[in-house]
Structure 1
């Protein structure tokens, strides 16, 4: 047990703990704002880029998906950096990459420059998606962890919405301004992170218990609360683990649940709508201006759904939220697909499509998009949390890469209706996946969730298998 020692750093008045935690979450979540803006702005910019650079369907998909390929490498590279240098410094690296990538893309004069600059932005997005939710989760108290980590996703959808509004307002100006607007939040993120503390759990993992306690006292506002939380952290006996630990039997339920949600978050089609809705709707005869306005409606729907999800993950629970909203996504996509299949192109037909796609956005974003980063940051033991969340982010970006590279081709092959009906089937599968593999994590500390992994009571499965799981994990305890 850790014995509390009075130090000069922890004596005297302390910052009010909820305020400091809120500041940390808000500044770190600026990485989510950049994440959303830089992925969403291509939706409007692509209409101009296609004309200026004479892009074919395939080259348009390559320019769009380059940022996703970069994100895939960025999230994998962020794991060892975050374990060695710390969560805070890794976020600062991501902010520097955001600045570099934004400057490059805004000054691009050839297709290859667009692709390379979006690869750099992807590195930043991948790193941010891997480390920001972990950093927020590790500084948050259990009763506020859901709300604060979902704040990262709220920042993402706010960034997407801002990108849609910016794209509409600048539709008659250069696409360079659309991309260049990302410089300001990148500067805010970099400068803000300089003044924030390291994660107390990362400090404890490195053996700096006194430093971890000092940070916890500042975060929780009392020495007693800090000592109790540090004792729980120390009792877990976590040290930095190799990659093989993430694949071990006792961690596998967390891997299946988190990676499954990450894959399904993309394979259910939300980013296909995000990237290509204006292109699909303009191709259906709605017109560019109306298509861009539809994107703004989608962005607003994403924001409202995420705000609702931020409340529901703590009021209902993560698992309950997913199971209640996913059926709505299935029904909305069936209606949308049918409207395209049966050629509902008149006035009421257009409204059916718009209402259906907005409804799908609400149900899908309010469930899977809200849960992905939260569950990924919660379920892994401290010893391999950085590596586990890297796999979550890599799965997300890998699936996103496939979706961004194939959506327009799917629309050409199956039609818009067939494509949306395919996504409806994947959303239905997601419901049954959650029912079988995703546990409820609401109200449990990170250390309690690790204990459930060790004793075989993590996954919502037949408890007759729990004794075997528990016996298999005794050597880890």
Structure 2
């Protein structure tokens, strides 16, 4: 239900971003986080916990598409990727801390109430800190608040670059307003315009749920052991985010995603092979008695390899690209559409994983995911441009004619690029 709530949160979060700004959207997400945590902590019945999860999901959806957008618009182009990756690191680092906190509360009175209720504390902290931060300068300029936008840009860029940034922003906004007069300002017209725009985009994100279950597939029936090993995988996820921070602005978003997708496909095939050799007894209940095997550790190793391959590439780079490729007039609605697609995919994965393992077996399920990863690899190669170090206006101009990978470009175009 949290993931389902995130779909709707991402959907109307795009509208809130365009209408009221990035800051208001993040503050609203914090309020939803806090309300959801309190509802879950005091829940007298299971249905109340579900209600709290919906509130949390709404906040997750809003924050997931707003935070990268806000960071990218308030960052110099040369370090924009690293700063958006830092957001990914704080998310994965938070997941790691969540495992530790849950383990700490397993012996405490109230157990799950503390586990769920403590999530309201970071929301309060972020709300207070967010009050001290400025609005996105690009959104302010779009709202004709030029002086406020300039004041913020002066804090971000060196003095000799401020005027250039203001001029680029002015030109971009004037062009967009001229086009907007032809498209219309209502939401339906904006959605049609976003899909009909020349810019090509793709959003692909894969999240590995049920790591304790996969550990149990590997032969570790103990819940505490499975949780402890899952703590290791969440730590690897956080480590991968640090790798992304270090290399995304040096080697680019596109290269990280291609390498990541190739690695994911390989790891999923390896997981399929390793788990297929473990549970030969069809009548054995894996989460009660496990699947004892001297090779069970291989599945855990491949799971760790999957996480460390996923995190620096597909875990962070798509969010960076998604925050960079839309024209200002479509940035909120475009980011919302991409986030809705992401959370819808995550909902499908979370709802079908256990059913798929029963129908196809663990090996068949992992091979299915490997197939989707290969399709994603092809899509990234054909559709996703490199945006490293480019100003938003440069990205928009590059995509106006459509993106083609170098292998599909005419020789004359290649010569012009090198020139």
Over residues 227-259 of structure 1, what are the superposed CA-to-partner deviations in whole Å (9 max), with x where a residue is unaligned?
1101001111234762222111413x13xx2x3
CA distance in 1, matches of 2:383, 2:297: 37
CA distance in 2, matches of 1:404, 1:371: 22
> Given the alignment of the two structures, is residue 271 of structure 1 paired with residue 208 of structure 2, yes or no?
yes
CA distance in 2, matches of 1:374, 1:419: 29
> Given the alignment of the two structures, is residue 359 of structure 1 paired with residue 295 of structure 2, yes or no?
no
CA distance in 1, matches of 2:220, 2:259: 34
**How much does 1:360 deviate?**
0.6
User: Are the counterparts in 1 of residues 38 and 117 from structure 2 also a CA contact under 8 Å?
Assistant: yes
Corresponding residue of 1:47: none
Q: Of the candidates 35, 43, 47, which is equivalent to residue 112 of structure 1?
A: 47
Match runs of 1:362-381 below 5 Å: 362-381=308-327
> Given the alignment of the two structures, is residue 247 of structure 1 paired with residue 184 of structure 2, yes or no?
no
What secondary structure does 2:352 align onto? helix
User: Are the counterparts in 2 of residues 380 and 388 from structure 1 also a CA contact under 8 Å?
Assistant: yes
TM-score normalised by structure 2 residue count: 0.87
Over residues 335-371 of structure 1, what are the superposed CA-to-partner deviations in whole Å (9 max), with x where a residue is unaligned?
2111211117446422111101000111122211111
Match runs of 1:304-343 below 5 Å: 304-343=239-278
Count the aligned residue pairs.
386
Q: Of the candidates 380, 383, 399, which is equivalent to residue 453 of structure 1?
A: 399
CA distance in 1, matches of 2:220, 2:390: 51
Corresponding residue of 1:433: 379
CA distance in 2, matches of 1:328, 1:100: 39
Change (3 A) 1:203 1:320: same
Q: Of the candidates 196, 203, 222, which is equivalent to residue 133 of structure 2?
A: 196
> Given the alignment of the two structures, is residue 390 of structure 1 paired with residue 336 of structure 2, yes or no?
yes
CA distance in 2, matches of 1:441, 1:391: 20
CA distance in 2, matches of 1:119, 1:234: 40
Q: Of the candidates 49, 57, 80, which is equivalent to residue 145 of structure 1?
A: 80
Over residues 272-306 of structure 1, what are the superposed CA-to-partner deviations in whole Å (9 max), with x where a residue is unaligned?
3xxx1223434654310110011101101101111
Q: Of the candidates 168, 183, 191, which is equivalent to residue 120 of structure 2?
A: 183
User: Are the counterparts in 1 of residues 21 and 139 from structure 2 also a CA contact under 8 Å?
Assistant: yes
Corresponding residue of 1:234: 170
| Aligned CA-pair RMSD | 2.0
Q: Mind listing any 5+ residue stretches in structure 2 that lack a counterpart?
A: 280-290, 414-419
User: Are the counterparts in 2 of residues 271 and 404 from structure 1 also a CA contact under 8 Å?
Assistant: no
What secondary structure does 2:5 align onto? helix
- More displaced stretch, 287-296 vs 409-418: 409-418
**How much does 1:457 deviate?**
4.6
Q: Of the candidates 346, 363, 366, which is equivalent to residue 417 of structure 1?
A: 363
**How much does 1:312 deviate?**
1.8
CA distance in 2, matches of 1:311, 1:435: 23
Corresponding residue of 1:3: none
**How much does 1:170 deviate?**
2.6
CA distance in 1, matches of 2:268, 2:44: 39
Q: Mind listing any 5+ residue stretches in structure 1 that lack a counterpart?
A: 1-65, 468-477
CA distance in 1, matches of 2:216, 2:115: 20
